[in-house]
Structure 1
Amino acid sequence: MRKLSSTNYFNQTFLEEKCALNELIHLLSKRWLTEVLFSIEEGNNRFSSIKEDLKLISDNVLADRLKLLEQYKLINRNDNFREVPARVEYSLTSIGEKLSEILDVLCKFSENEMEFPS
């Protein structure tokens, strides 16, 4: 959570207003967000299966990232199952699928073309 009166907040707001890409990059820079998106794309559509796939992620962070992805309409949350205990499944939206394709290209670019200092 950013402090609303901080210079950092004003700078980030300026950048986000200047170009929507800055807001997207800020969103994607949140730890685990892209991995959660990729895990859902790979077919892990339940909280427990995402958690199993991303062994080091905490329950709180996973829940937060799922909420963010849903808020930005990158995933759908389906809880329309009449089961006990309640069942929730996640799936990519069409926007989430497009973003995942773009991120896959960026992953391949960074693996094949970039040299990162040690």
Structure 2
Amino acid sequence: MPGFTCGLDATLRVVAGKWKPLILYFLAQGGPTRYGELRRAVRDVSDKMLIQQLKELEADGLVKRTDYKEVPPRVDYSLTPLGRSLAQALVPLCNWGEANLVEVTRVFAQRAAEDQRRASRK
């Protein structure tokens, strides 16, 4: 694997993907979280994608998966110390999103309207 160009490069490779930052965020909100709870919290993610992202986060040492070997199956997920430190690093991004939510919503709505106008001209 090639080296990282900087710390941001390393961080972005670890959280690459639409769902990983959200998974880290929701796992940071409390203690161990069952799969179903996580699925409800990370809306719009498919089961396949959530499972894949959780496996990658576990392989990267950010998430711990605990299988209680029970019937019916009981599994929960929690952050490792490395995962907690990354989740804390994401807090300023969350704060920025909250502070700029109205403006970002407006910009995305404007972009969507422009894309729709372009598509209707074709």
Q: TM-score range, shorter-chain basis? A: 0.7 to 0.9
Taking the aligned partners of 1:106 and 1:31, their CA distance within structure 2 comes to 14
Q: Read off the aligned partner of 2:23 and give its amino acid letter.
A: V
Task: Give structure 1 stretches of 5+ with no counterpart.
Answer: 1-12
Secondary structure at the aligned position of 2:77 is classed as: strand
Give, as a single letter, the amino acid of the residue that structure 2 aligns with 1:35: L
| Match of residue 73 from structure 1 | 61
Total equivalences in the alignment:
104
Given the alignment, which residue of 37, 57, 61 partners 2:45? 57
**Superposition CA RMSD, Å:** 2.5
Stretch of structure 1 that moved more, 83-92 or 23-32: 23-32
The CA deviation string for residues 57-99 of structure 1, in whole angstroms up to 9 with x for no partner, is 10011001101110111111111x2410221111111111111
Distance in 2 between residues matched to 1:18 and 1:53, nearest whole Å:
33
Gap runs ≥5 in structure 2:
108-122
The within-5 A match list for 1:1-118 is 16-43=3-30, 45-79=33-67, 81-112=68-99, 118=107
- For 1:27 and 1:83, locate their aligned partners in 2 and report how far apart those are by CA, in whole Å: 31
Q: Work out the percentage of aligned pairs sharing the same amino acid.
A: 31
TM-score of the pair, normalised by structure 2: 0.71
TM-score between the two structures when normalised by the length of structure 1: 0.73
Bigger relative CO (Cα 8 Å, ≥ 6 apart): 2
- Cα deviation, 1:33-56, whole Å, max 9, x if unaligned, reads 111111111236111110111231
Superposed CA deviations along residues 5-28 of structure 1, whole A, max 9, x for unmatched, are xxxxxxxx76x4323431321332
Give the partner amino acid of 2:40.
E
Structure 1 residue ranges, 4+ long, deviating more than 6 angstroms after superposition: none
